[in-house]
Amino acid sequence: MGKYSDKILVTGHKNPDTDSICSSITYTNFKNKLENTDKYAAMRLGNVSDETKFVLDYFNMPEPALIEGALEEGDKVILVDHNEKSQTVDGIENAEVLEIIDHHRLGGLVTATPLFMRVQPVGCTGTIVYQMYKENGIEISREMAGLMVSAILSDTLLFRSPTCTEADKIAGKELAAIAGIDPEVYAKEMFKAGSNLCEKSAEEIFNIDCKKFEMGEKVITVAQVSTINSDEIEDIHKKVSDFMGEGIKASGCDMAFLMITDIINESSTVVCAGEGAIDVMTDGFEVEANGDAVYLPGVVSRKKQMVPAIMGAFK
Amino acid sequence: MGKYSDKILVTGHKNPDTDSICSSITYTNFKNKLENTDKYAAMRLGNVSDETKFVLDYFNMPEPALIEGALEEGDKVILVDHNEKSQTVDGIENAEVLEIIDHHRLGGLVTATPLFMRVQPVGCTGTIVYQMYKENGIEISREMAGLMVSAILSDTLLFRSPTCTEADKIAGKELAAIAGIDPEVYAKEMFKAGSNLCEKSAEEIFNIDCKKFEMGEKVITVAQVSTINSDEIEDIHKKVSDFMGEGIKASGCDMAFLMITDIINESSTVVCAGEGAIDVMTDGFEVEANGDAVYLPGVVSRKKQMVPAIMGAFK
């Protein structure tokens, strides 16, 4: 009857970022309040990042529980902040997918039965969850507001990413007021907590926020880290180069990319591994290669800038 | 720059049924009114059925224009009443999918960029379109109400299908009042207009409302016709048997099913073709075979009853 058949699981993607963790908690709270129940449970598919840890500590909220192993027949699940099979819980084909709340491209998932799905081209799942609280007249506590605004600030890089829409700004402003934070000051502290990259190994850096995509026959990995410290970018690049070059052979992926995003200067250094990967970047963005990397001014969004460019190369 | 680059195309699925045609017209009207524009254009991917012809004639509305051939780079499209690649316009991979409004299972489509998607587990796309008119305060004309309620009556078999929800009943009731029709009387006339099956060839019957599904490695076709005349069911069965047996070899499909649905008695006779197809039915529904067909009392929904049973067999 399923491992978790007494609960409906609400989970973000593997290698969870702040939006995945915060949206699973806040959407669970929304559903439980809306239906006056406690049957929805916030879950996660991996360790929380340093950035997310800062957010949960700041608002004194516990981590969601970890889903261990694969789902089974009888399990029921709601996916937030993702809709791709390669990014979701193992055993998804056994479970019933009741809902998807997301802001990404459509990624090829198949379900057996009709579902509720709300996907909007906004900067953050937190913005959609905020709208659902408002539309249904559910009160937003300081803690829930804090998690939602943290997700928005994280995903939109303090409203500066090209993915950021008017709806994200409206939500962010109102939520910051409820949470009692100054977005500028809070976001910089949050990014700093998540920027602790130099102490990490190459493998740890690559896996902080790493997403897998299936494009036709190819399997592509696109990881991203952000920093507010421009000086450490070249050090990170050097540290991950060998790991990525070796790792690509072992991982079964065809290409791997790591975006090292400079939040302050709104640019990314993208380290490439796998045959033809560097060409995908130089052709897609019309830039010169610098060894195994490219420098992309203005490029900060995996979803809106990197993935479409990579998909363009596989058409 | 695309064949249709000055317009945003709004289209239902191939072999369009009444919901696909009516939702493409009414959602186009909604979008044009909401944005005070005329850039959205209702389109179709095949001939309208006799049932749909009755609806368009009754409310004096023209057919949507036909999309001929494949879409090209630069074309922009909104999909209503479907989300599966095998059911949508050719060349979808070249076009930009801006929105999907649907009430089916998630079927594996991939897009390059984030989109707006509203999928609800209700009986009809018309019900979702109705909700969007209401939520946005857009006035519903007699003609638009007539098309939406026709779609709802058609998809829910006059509110009797297991797919029918409270939301469909609420929408249907209000829309019938605006359209000035009695749902019972109107629906029977509409079903009768669409039930004109005995005059059609086996091929025509099979193609009236025929959907293709990719399940793992297999390609499965599930067609459906409805009748209010129980007496003609056995005649239709006999007529299509040979065609389906021969057709399966030529079509490249692995299995084909035709649901002959008895609207009055709420049951279906399902004719099966292809190796193992009859076993999928007898195992899935725990019934005995009658030659190349099974009789399924209570089964009237392709989406909620047939497709999950077939998917179960391919797990």
**Cβ-nearest to A114 among B97, B112, B303:** B303
User: How many alpha carbons lie under 13 Å from residue A13 in its C-beta half-sphere?
Assistant: 24
Separation CA B199–CA A208 (nearest Å): 64
pLDDT digits (tens, 9 = 90+) for B172-193: 999 999 999 999 999 999 998 9
Hey, of B97, B110, B131, B168, which one would you mutate to test binding to chain A, going by the most A CBs within 10 A of its CB? B110
Separation CA B214–CA B218 (nearest Å): 6
Per-residue pLDDT, B251: 79
pLDDT digits (tens, 9 = 90+) for A133-183: 999 999 999 999 999 999 999 999 999 999 999 999 999 999 999 999 999
Separation CA B79–CA B116 (nearest Å): 11
Cα A171 to Cα A150, A157, B30: the distances in Å are: 11, 15, 26
Per-residue pLDDT, B248: 81
- B29 Cβ neighbours under 8 A, 6+ residues apart: B42, B141, B144
**What is the CA angle A292-A294-A300, rounded to 5?**
130
Cα A195 to Cα A45, A198, A219, B58: the distances in Å are: 22, 8, 28, 65
Nearest residue of chain B to residue A104 (CA atoms): B114
- Residue B39 burial (CB count, 10 A): 12
What does the pLDDT average to over A208-232? 89
Distance from CA of A116 to the nearest CA of B (A): 4
Which of A175-180's residues contact partners 24+ apart within 8 Å by CB, and which partners?
A175/A126, A175/A130, A175/A140, A175/A145, A175/A146, A175/A148, A175/A149, A176/A145, A176/A149, A178/A140, A178/A141, A178/A142, A178/A145, A179/A59, A179/A142, A179/A145, A179/A146, A179/A149, A180/A142
Per-residue pLDDT, B314: 81
A118/B121 touch (CB, cutoff 8 Å), yes or no? no
- Residue A228 burial (CB count, 10 A): 16
pLDDT digits (tens, 9 = 90+) for A110-135: 998 999 999 999 999 999 999 999 99
- Asked whether A71 and A48 are in contact (CB, 8 A), the reply is no
- B61 Cβ neighbours under 8 A, 6+ residues apart: B25, B143, B147
Q: Is B86 on the interface with A (CB under 8 A)?
A: no
**3 state DSSP class of B140:** coil
Taking phi over 0 as left and psi of -120 to 50 as alpha, with beta for the rest, B167 belongs to alpha
- Asked whether B260 and B269 are in contact (CB, 8 A), the reply is yes
A52-62 b/e (C-beta count within 10 Å ≥ 16 → b):
bbbbbebbebe
B108/A110 touch (CB, cutoff 8 Å), yes or no? yes
Q: Is B308 on the interface with A (CB under 8 A)?
A: yes
A108/B109 touch (CB, cutoff 8 Å), yes or no? yes
pLDDT digits (tens, 9 = 90+) for A262-277: 988 899 999 999 999 9
Mean pLDDT for all residues in chain A = 94
What does the pLDDT average to over A84-90? 95
How many contiguous H segments (helices) and E segments (strands) does chain A have? Answer: 10, 11
- Asked whether B59 and B143 are in contact (CB, 8 A), the reply is yes
Residue type, B138: I
Separation CA A57–CA A71 (nearest Å): 29
pLDDT digits (tens, 9 = 90+) for A40-77: 999 999 999 999 999 999 999 999 999 999 999 999 99
3-state secondary structure B268-300: EEEEEECCCHHHHHHHHHCCCCECCEEEEECCC
Separation CA B236–CA B243 (nearest Å): 11
ipTM for the complex shown: 0.85
Q: Is B74 on the interface with A (CB under 8 A)?
A: no
Per-residue pLDDT, A103: 97
Per-residue pLDDT, B44: 98
Cα A260 to Cα A7, A188, A249: the distances in Å are: 38, 17, 22
**Cβ-nearest to A119 among B115, B312, B315:** B115
Separation CA B304–CA B17 (nearest Å): 17
Q: What proportion of chain A, given as a percentage, has pLDDT over 90?
A: 82
Contacts with B104 from chain A: Cβ below 8 Å: 114
Show the DSSP H helices in A202-306 as ranges: 202-207, 233-251, 277-285
Contacts with A121 from chain B: Cβ below 8 Å: 113-116
Separation CA B169–CA A166 (nearest Å): 35
Interface size, chain A vs chain B, as Cβ–Cβ contacts under 8 Å: 87
Separation CA A86–CA A307 (nearest Å): 15
Question: pTM, whole model, 2 decimals?
Answer: 0.87
- B227 Cβ neighbours under 8 A, 6+ residues apart: B191, B195, B197, B233, B236, B260, B261, B262, B263
Contacts with B97 from chain A: Cβ below 8 Å: 106
Contacts with A103 from chain B: Cβ below 8 Å: 114
Tokens of B163: 């797919």
Q: Is the pLDDT of residue A1 over 60?
A: no
Separation CA B239–CA A242 (nearest Å): 67
Per-residue pLDDT, A196: 79
Distance from CA of A95 to the nearest CA of B (A): 12
- Asked whether B44 and B21 are in contact (CB, 8 A), the reply is yes
Mean pLDDT for all residues in chain B = 94
Per-residue pLDDT, A314: 81
A6-45 b/e (C-beta count within 10 Å ≥ 16 → b):
ebbbbbbbbbbbbbbbbbbbbbbbbbbbeeeeeebbbbbb
What does the pLDDT average to over A89-108? 96
pLDDT along chain B (315 residues), means of 10: 85 96 98 98 96 97 96 96 96 96 95 95 98 97 98 95 96 98 95 85 91 88 91 92 85 92 92 95 94 95 92 83
Separation CA A77–CA A149 (nearest Å): 24
A109/B108 touch (CB, cutoff 8 Å), yes or no? yes
Q: Is the pLDDT of residue A184 over 70?
A: yes
**Cβ-nearest to A304 among B108, B113, B117:** B113
B57-77 b/e (C-beta count within 10 Å ≥ 16 → b):
ebbebeebeebeeebeeebbb
DSSP B57-126: HHTT-PPPEEP-S---TT-EEEEES---GGGS-TTTTTSEEEEEEE-S--B--B-SS--EEEE--SS-HH
Contacts with A315 from chain B: Cβ below 8 Å: 93
Tokens of A257: 């990319």
Residue type, B72: E
Measured between alpha carbons, how far apart are the two ends of chain B, in Å?
42
Beta-ladder partners of A293 = A271, A290
